[in-house]
């Protein structure tokens, strides 16, 4: 297969981890006889520094022309000035919108080898296997917003949560199809006891669940209760579908279940066109440049990219199996190492993955 991928390293540890995931993709292409092309482009803070724009047009054009995009992370203290004209995060939000990536898939499945790294008890976390479908191009992230000056030095700011029926239907359908191919359970999370927009979610999802998807075990949970259930009985969920803001918050919470944010990949996809694949962790400016970042989330994101964007199922399985083998052999980066355990660096961890992949 010939495939072309865009690499957007971004800021902080982004370049360190994306370059390592690229090595894994290169080995996959050699081993399985594919031809992968990689194009590197700017996004985030580095793009602001070099072009004044967190998402330059050249980046958008390259992404559109590719099969898929692998992203590191954006942001850092250097660009945190609240009065700045633009922020690195704006580049991320815009690329989601430009590529119409309305569904963000965040799988939460702790590795058996790392269960003791979880802040929760092993017996609570064991058996957890959740796939979040977070709506990504609507809601309060993209609704009208304003900030006006009031008399007496006061200000009034507004952010608006807006959803239309079609936006709810399309994410619901993707989540429902995923539930069908998994354990058949689908949970919709909202705040319908307070928010009008959630009551629309409830009607739209309820109608689809009782017509097109009546084979599924469907239930609804309020977002505050969900925050609780996620740490008291995480293994009782299968597929979870929710809006942009609730999904943002709940997936950060859920990301702690496997012990380290450093292990979790995510995929953002739309109806057609290239998808965007990234680790769910941020740019970790505190450890940037030290060579100690955990590359596994990005390597697993590359595996999701192979599976979801170019249909290379066997190759994706091979990468995931290599990661599993490396963990089983006891290799740990500093975010995973427990007291007394030896921690290895970004490159060394990748080399173990490459070796495990070659051995298969």
Would you please indicate which residues are annotated as catalytic (active-site) residues? 141, 191, 224, 248, 252
Choose among 132, 126, 138, 127: nearest CA to 168. Answer: 138
User: Smaller CB distance to Mg ion: residue 42 or 74?
Assistant: 74
24-46 burial, b if ≥16 CB within 10 A, otherwise e? bbebbbeeeebebebeebbbbbb
When the beta carbons of 212 and 252 are compared against ligand IPM, the nearer one is 252
Rank residues 36 and 277 by Cβ distance to ligand IPM and give the closer one.
277
Cα distance between residue 359 and residue 352, in whole Å: 11
CA distances 359 to 17, 95, 296, 313, 322, Å, are 22, 37, 18, 18, 9
- Which residue's CB atom is positioned nearest to ligand IPM? 89
Q: Is 2 helix (H, G, I), strand (E, B) or coil?
A: strand
What is the b/e burial string over 87-100, where b = at least 16 CB atoms within 10 angstroms of the residue's CB? bbebbbbbbbbbbe
Q: Which of 53, 89, 320, 351 binds ligand IPM (CB under 6 A)?
A: 89
Query: Do 204 and 172 contact (CB within 8 A), yes or no?
Result: yes
Cα dihedral 301, 302, 305, 307 sign: negative
Tell me which residue of 286, 271, 263, 310 sits closest to 107, measured CA to CA.
263
* Closest residue by beta carbon to Mg ion: 248
Which are the contacts of 271, defined by CB distance < 8 A and separation ≥ 6?
Answer: 100, 102, 170
With CB under 6 A as the contact rule, the residue among 169, 248, 320, 351 that binds ligand IPM is 248
Residue number, 90 or 222, with CB nearest to ligand IPM: 90
The dihedrals phi and psi of 113, each to the nearest 5 degrees, come to -65, -20
Total residue count of the chain as it appears in this document: 360
The rounded distance, in Å, linking the Cα atoms of 155 and 93 is 26
Name residues contacting ligand IPM, limited to 154-183 (CB under 6 A). Answer: none
Q: Does 98 bind ligand IPM (CB under 6 A)?
A: no
- Give the binding site for Mg ion (CB under 5 A): 248
* Stretch touching ligand IPM by CB under 6 A, among 14-22, 88-96, 177-185, 296-304: 88-96
Strands 217-222, 68-73: pairing kind = unpaired
Q: Which of 3, 62, 71, 92 binds ligand IPM (CB under 6 A)?
A: 92
Query: Is 108 near ligand IPM (CB under 6 A)?
Result: no
Q: Half-sphere exposure (CA, 13 Å, Cβ side) for 338?
A: 9
In terms of CB distance, is 315 or 335 closer to Mg ion? 335
Q: Which is nearer to ligand IPM, 3 or 263 (CB)?
A: 263
Q: What kind and span of H or E run contains 269?
A: strand 265-269
Question: Using the rule CB under 6 A, is 264 a contact of ligand IPM?
Answer: no
Distance in Å, CB of 12 to Mg ion, minimum: 15
What contacts 220, CB < 8 A, 6 or more positions away? 187, 188, 189, 190, 192, 202, 205, 206
- Least distance from C-beta 279 to ligand IPM, angstroms? 10
CB 247 → Mg ion: shortest distance, Å?
A: 8
Residue 89 binding partner per list ligand IPM, Mg ion, none, with a CB distance cut-off of 5 to 8 Å that depends on partner kind = ligand IPM
* Binding region for ligand IPM (CB under 6 A) out of 85-93, 122-130, 167-175, 255-263: 85-93
* Interface stretch with ligand IPM, choices 29-37, 86-94, 215-223, 319-327 (CB under 6 A): 86-94
Least CB distance to ligand IPM at residue 210 (A): 31
- Closest CB to ligand IPM among 248 and 351? 248
Part in contact with ligand IPM (CB under 6 A); list of ranges 32-40, 87-95, 117-125, 213-221: 87-95
Kindly determine how many residues on this chain lie close enough to bind ligand IPM according to the rule CB under 6 A: 4
Residues that bind ligand IPM (CB under 6 A): 89, 92-93, 248
């Amino acid at each position: 297969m010939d495939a072309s991928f865009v690499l957007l390293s971004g800021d902080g540890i982004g370049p360190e981890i994306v370059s390592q995931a690229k090595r894994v993709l290169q080995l996959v292409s050699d081993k399985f006889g594919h031809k992968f092309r990689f194009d590197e482009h700017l996004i985030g803070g580095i793009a602001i520094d070099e072009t004044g724009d967190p998402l330059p047009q050249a980046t958008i054009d390259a992404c559109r022309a590719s099969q898929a995009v692998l992203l590191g992370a954006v942001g850092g203290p250097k660009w945190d000035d609240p009065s700045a004209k633009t922020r690195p995060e704006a580049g991320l939000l815009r690329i989601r919108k430009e590529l119409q990536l309305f569904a963000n898939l965040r799988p939460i499945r702790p590795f058996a080898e790392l269960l003791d790294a979880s802040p929760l008890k092993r017996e609570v976390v064991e058996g957890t296997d959740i796939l979040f479908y977070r709506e990504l191009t609507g809601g309060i992230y993209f609704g009208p917003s304003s900030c006006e000056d009031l008399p007496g030095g006061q200000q009034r700011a507004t952010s608006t949560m807006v959803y239309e029926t079609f936006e709810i239907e399309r994410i619901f359908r993707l989540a429902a199809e995923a539930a069908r191919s998994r354990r058949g359970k689908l949970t919709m999370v909202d705040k319908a006891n307070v928010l009008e927009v959630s009551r629309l979610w409830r009607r739209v999802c309820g109608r689809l669940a009782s017509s097109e998807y009546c084979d599924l075990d469907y239930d609804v949970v309020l977002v505050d209760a969900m925050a609780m259930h996620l740490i008291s009985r995480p293994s009782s969920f299968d597929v979870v579908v929710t809006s942009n803001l609730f999904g943002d918050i709940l997936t950060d919470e859920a990301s702690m279940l496997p012990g380290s944010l450093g292990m979790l990949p995510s995929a953002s996809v739309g109806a057609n066109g290239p998808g965007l694949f990234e680790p769910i962790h941020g740019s970790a400016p505190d450890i940037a440049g030290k060579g100690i970042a955990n590359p596994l989330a990005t390597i697993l994101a590359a595996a999701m990219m192979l599976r979801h964007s170019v249909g290379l199922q066997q190759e994706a399985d091979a990468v995931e199996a290599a990661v599993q083998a490396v963990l089983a052999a006891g290799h740990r980066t500093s975010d995973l190492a427990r007291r007394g355990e030896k921690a290895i660096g970004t490159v060394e961890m990748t080399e173990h993955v490459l070796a495990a992949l070659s051995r298969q």
